[in-house]
Structure formats: C-alpha cells, structure tokens
Amino acid sequence: MKWKMLIIWMALLAIGVLSGKYLFKSEVKSAPPPPVKLYEVQGRGAPGLSGTDTSLAGFKGNIIEVRDGDEIQEAVKRAEPGDLIRVYPGNYKETVYMDKDDISFQGIIIEGNWPTLDGEKELNDAFLYSGNGIVIENFKIINYKGNGIMGQAGNNFVIRNNWVVDAGVYGIFPEFGKNGLIEHNVLSGIEDAAIYVGMCDNIDVLHNETYESVAGIEIENSRHCLVENNYTHDNTGGLLVFITPGLPIKTCFDIIIRNNFVVNNNHENFGAPGSIVAGIPKGTGILIMAADDVTLEGNTITGNNNAGITITDLTLVTNLATDPESEPNPDRLVILDNFMSNNGKDPGGELKALMLTQMETQGPDIIAIGGGGGSCILDKDKYRTFGLGDFGQCQMRTSIAVQSFMLAEPVEPRDITIQEKGKLTFYGVCSGCHAYEIRMIGPPTRDLQAIYNNNPQGIVDYITNPVHRRENYPEMPPQDYLSEETRMAVAEYMLTVEK
C-alpha cells in the first residue's frame, strides 16, 4: 500500500513541476500553435475545420490553391463570395487586401512547414480585410511594420491558429467589427498590442498566447467581449480594457475576463513614444481604465512586479482625458474569485511613491485610483488591496451563465458609402497614430489640416509615397494598398474631422 501511495505522490510532484515550468517560467519560449492533422494533406479537396471545412453541407464555393511562387493577392482577385483560398507552405512577400465578402483563407501546414507571409520590414501589413464573413487561419506572419492581421468594418470574422512574430504595431487588430472570434493564435514581439480589439461588439478572444509584446491583449472602446483561457506572459502589460477618448465609439462595457493566465508581465516598455501603451508601467498584470461593467473571474495573476490588477480613471493618461463625451470613470466592476500571488515585488514610478506613503515597499494585488462607483469584490480579504474602500460585497459568485458573446446568427454585412468608408478608414488606420490635437505616434490631425488646407490630393500623394520629414516622428509607412477612391475619401474626411 505504501509503495502505491509513493508512486501517486511522485506522479503529482512531476505534474506540478512540469506545470510550473511551462506556466510560470519566463525563460521558456513557446512553440507555434500545433498543426492540425486535417490540414497536413496534399492536393485538392482536403478537409478543414468548421468554417472552412469543404466537406460540410453548405459549402458551395470553389477552392483556389496557392503554392510557393504564386501570389495570394492574385487568388483574391479571382475569388467569389463563398470561395476558399488554400495556401500551401512557402514564403509570400505581399500584403493581402480583401474587400469581398465570405472568403476563407486556409493555410496548409505540412510536416511543420507553414505558409509564411514575410514583410521583410519593408511592407506595412500582412492581411487587411474590409469584407464580411472572412476566415483567416493557419498562417505564419513575420517582419511587418504595421499590422499582422487588420480588419476594417468587417463582421462575422474568424481569426484562428495563426503564428504572428514581430509584425509591427498590432498583431491581430479587428476594428469596427461585430460578431467575431479570435482563438488559438500565438503572438510575440509586437510594439503595441499583440491582440487589439478596437471599437467592436460581440467578440470572443479565446485560448491565445501572447508574450514579449508591450501589451498582450487590449479591449478598447468595445462592448460585449469575452476574454477567456488566454496565456499572456512576459509583456509590459498583460491584459488591458480601456476607453480611448476622441474615438467615434465612446464607451467600453460588458466585458468578461475569465480563466486567463496573466504571468510575469515585466518586459521593458518599447511602445512608440506618444502612444497610449508607452505610458503603461512594466509589471502591469491587468489594467482596467474607464471601462464599465467588467467582470474578472477565475484568473491566475502572478509575478507582475508593479501590480496584479490596476483600476483607474482616465487621469492615468492625462493628455488623453480631453473628450467631454467619454465618461472617465470605471463603474460597476465585479471582481470574483481569482488566484493572485507574488505581485507588486518592484513597483515603479507613482505607485512606488504611493506605497511609500503607506510605509510599504511592495505593490498590491489590486489597486484602484481615481473615480468610479457601484463596484464590488467577492472576498476582499484574500488579496493585498489599495483604494477599494468604495467596493461592496458581490452578491453574484460566477459569470458562467455567459458562455459566449458571439451571436447565434451572422449579422448583416455593413453597407457603407464611399464617404463612410473614408471615415471608417480614418479611424481604423489613421487615428491610431494621429489624434486630433495631441501628439501620438504621428503629428496631430489638426496640424495636418493646417498643412493641407483644401488640398486632399496632397494628403493622397503623401500617404501613397510618404517622405520622412520630421526627425521627432517615426517614418510613416505607405498606405498604397488602399484603393485610390478610398485614399481620396480618407483625405477628404481628415480635412473635415473635428474634435
């Protein structure tokens, strides 16, 4: 009997050691997403997963194959709604631009070889889509200057099982989209946010890994989002939910952050000067800034040297707190049962000074700064906290009733005029670098309006072939992937936009 118990205890010890090694050791580098056996095939008619499975009832499109030496964009030109573009292993140096609906991109992984989009630090973006019903899966994306996968006003999207490394400012960036799924992606080396959900509704972000980026996952000015079972580690900040003032959508609410691993997010901040994330202190586990109705449950939050959870109003980024239509306080937050340990070992800046006023040198598990009301915490005594005096005792114990925020049926495609497309492109592409009257990555929009007054063609010429003129701003990548009509529409909107 004793030897049986000894074997059981040795097995449990081995499991614990392996779990600690792979979940909490920052030196461990992650492998790419495991290839799916269904895709390790040759030839036409290979089965796939739900969403691109050509054997499923309802698939009536054609399969367009792309092999090493071909161009994916040429396949896009031939594709019709409902078609599947199947891309085989090889190196593809291009930007894939998709403005058609219901097109699926399926990479084929054969014996560990991926279809790889390589920008060689010359191209701005890998995938850009404005169509609806887009699926992008099983691609390796490396060495771009702007974005790995960016969506502009496309609904009903699926982005899954992609491996994104050093892809510029954003790794996966849907904006103005509704009813989308981002799952099973691995991203690293991103200068702003590895996964960035901007001004979207009804989005699930599931089972992703993000590391060695400035921000692991960001939910910005979005509503009805579930962020669950992600592993975000060794970033500057692990998981951010916030409002950016000055955008056309003014709110961020109804967000569930559940069962994520937020571990050792102590990377030096290498965000572009002037960007929001450039002000995020290293050692930030989860940051909630001005967002409402956010629920945190079942998360493992460990080893974040500044603080485990930071809750703040817009005064954290004082130069952005200028939009009177953006309510600046985080309200009605719900903090349920989370596992937190070893946070706050080395607080920096303002938090360090604040802790010293309390005769403390260690930062808290949870800190709340600034305004906000109506929030609650399930068991406050479990954690080291600061500033939670107004938090009540939560009556609810779990959010498990919400399994997904995606909708049961696809939503209608967005039908937009060229003028509306100019506006959406401005907020989807331009506003990330050009705020109205404050410095971000690029000059303020107000300054550009003065330079190009009544000259939209001048803006079109510049964004098509930019020249680096200002030493105190980084070089702007060309936006020549946009159609001529779209470039003119965004230039005209830029000259008329107001604060």
Verify that 425 and 406 share a domain, yes or no: no
Alpha helices per DSSP H over 318-417: 349-357
Among the candidates 140, 167, 194, a domain finishes at: 167
Quick check: is 332 in a domain? yes
Verify that 382 and 403 share a domain, yes or no: yes
How far apart CA 446 and CA 426 sit, in angstroms, is 14
Among the candidates 108, 143, 167, a domain finishes at: 167
Among the candidates 389, 415, 441, a domain finishes at: 415
Quick check: is 118 in a domain? yes
How far apart CA 198 and CA 223 sit, in angstroms, is 10
Verify that 309 and 225 share a domain, yes or no: yes
Dihedral-angle region of residue 400 (phi above 0 means left; psi in -120 to 50 means alpha; beta otherwise): alpha
Verify that 396 and 325 share a domain, yes or no: yes
Quick check: is 394 in a domain? yes
**E strand residue ranges, 290-404:** 292-297, 300-302, 307-312, 334-335, 339-341, 366-369, 376-377, 385-386, 392-393
Quick check: is 209 in a domain? yes
Verify that 138 and 74 share a domain, yes or no: yes
Quick check: is 17 in a domain? no
Quick check: is 152 in a domain? yes
Verify that 47 and 133 share a domain, yes or no: yes
Q: What's the pLDDT score for residue 260? A: 98
How far apart CA 470 and CA 110 sit, in angstroms, is 46
Domains: count for the chain: 3
Question: What's the token pair of residue 492?
Answer: 């005209």
Q: Which residues contact 398 (CB under 8 A, 6 or more apart)?
A: 297, 336
Q: What's the pLDDT score for residue 358? A: 62
Domain span including residue 434: 418-496
Local confidence pLDDT in tens for the 499 residues of the chain: 444 444 444 444 343 433 343 333 333 344 444 333 223 333 323 333 333 343 434 467 899 999 999 999 999 999 999 999 999 999 999 999 998 999 999 999 999 999 999 999 988 899 999 889 999 999 999 999 889 999 988 999 999 999 999 998 999 999 989 999 999 999 999 999 999 999 999 999 999 999 999 999 999 999 999 999 999 999 999 999 999 887 888 999 999 999 999 999 999 998 877 777 888 889 999 999 999 999 999 999 999 999 999 999 987 655 555 677 788 899 999 999 999 999 989 877 666 556 556 656 677 899 998 889 999 999 999 998 888 989 999 999 999 999 999 999 999 876 677 777 788 778 767 876 777 776 767 888 888 889 899 898 988 899 888 888 887 777 787 777 677 888 898 888 898 888 6
Q: What's the pLDDT score for residue 50? A: 36
Q: Give the per-residue SS3 of 482-493.
A: CCHHHHHHHHHH
Verify that 337 and 455 share a domain, yes or no: no
Tokens 């060309």, located at residue = 478
Q: What's the pLDDT score for residue 271? A: 84
Verify that 327 and 422 share a domain, yes or no: no
Verify that 400 and 447 share a domain, yes or no: no
Q: What's the pLDDT score for residue 324? A: 76
How far apart CA 209 and CA 408 sit, in angstroms, is 26
Verify that 349 and 429 share a domain, yes or no: no
Cα Rg of the chain (Å, integer): 23
Verify that 146 and 210 share a domain, yes or no: no
| CATH code for the domain in which residue 457 is found | 1.10.760.10
Q: What's the pLDDT score for residue 45? A: 32
Cβ burial, residue 39 (10 Å; 0-12/13-18/19+): buried
Quick check: is 22 in a domain? no
Verify that 432 and 410 share a domain, yes or no: no
Quick check: is 18 in a domain? no
> Are the C-beta atoms of residues 409 and 415 closer than 8 Å to each other?
no
